[in-house]
Amino acid sequence: MIEVDAAPFAYRFDPARTALVVIDMQRDFLEPGGFGETLGNDLAPVVEIIPTVAALIGTFREKGWTILHTRESHAPDLSDCPPAKRARGAPALRIGDMGPMGRILVRGEPGADIVGPCAPAPGEIVVDKPGKGMFHATDVAEILQARGVAHLVFAGVTTEVCVQTSMREANDRGYECLLIEDATASYFPAFKYATLEMIRAQGAIVGWTAPLDAFRKAIA
């Protein structure tokens, strides 16, 4: 077992039973013209974490540990996109509309791709999810069970939406979860920090948090 200096107390994990989960590091959320920007968000906070996420991915690759990437995206006919989801808010472009990177959040379109520095390598797991949580309407549970995974290290965007939802889903299924603090972000920094506090409150009620440097020191 490896022990990480984490909050609210040390996080221990078995690398043979651990997977990195990189949530939705997609062009539609991180690049100009994508869905994130059409909602009126400032992209700077999420763009800032790209090098750290890439470094975390690189660390797992060096060790040969399991890596799973998710992409929030929908079928071209939007049959897996609830009308309420598409209609909510007042974005300049809605899910399925044509944007500068193809149709917004539609599988196979350029905007649904993961940004270059964080792009999956051959052999890494890529899961397209129609919801915020990674277990909803996907085969993530079966993938993790088949590999004997018990510990999950999380990164990605956005902290308070898809990352937190996926962590809470994982927690309910018995996984021990660690969120890398500087490898996750929100368009609203205050939301990120509030989420970190919620996750590790009450004795790690959802999971643990730690910076990348602490994780790297633990595995060195």
- pLDDT tens digits, 25-43: 999 999 999 999 999 999 9
pLDDT confidence of residue 72: 98
pLDDT confidence of residue 115: 98
Write out pLDDT tens, residues 72-110.
999 999 999 999 999 998 889 999 999 999 999 999 999
Mean per-residue pLDDT, 13-33:
98
**Catalytic: 217?**
no
Percent of the chain with pLDDT over 70: 100
Q: How confident is the model at residue 9 (pLDDT cuts 50, 70, 90)?
A: very high
CB 64 within 8 A of CB 17: no
pLDDT confidence of residue 45: 98
- Of residues 72, 47, 45, 67, the one with CA closest to residue 56: 67
Beta strands in 110-207 (DSSP E): 125-129, 151-157, 176-185
Strands 66-72 and 18-23: parallel
Dihedrals phi, psi of 138, to nearest 5 degrees = -135, 175
pLDDT confidence of residue 13: 98
pLDDT confidence of residue 182: 98
pLDDT confidence of residue 84: 96
Write out pLDDT tens, residues 172-195.
999 999 999 999 999 999 999 999
Q: Which two tokens stand for residue 15?
A: 């690398």
pLDDT confidence of residue 173: 98
Mean per-residue pLDDT, 151-156:
99
Query: Among residues 81, 118, 132, 162, which one is catalytic?
Result: 162
**Catalytic: 139?**
no
pLDDT confidence of residue 110: 98
pLDDT confidence of residue 126: 98
pLDDT confidence of residue 98: 97
Query: Among residues 24, 81, 132, 192, which one is catalytic?
Result: 24
Tell me the C-alpha distance between 52 and 54, whole Å.
Answer: 5
**Catalytic: 129?**
yes
Query: Among residues 28, 81, 118, 129, which one is catalytic?
Result: 129
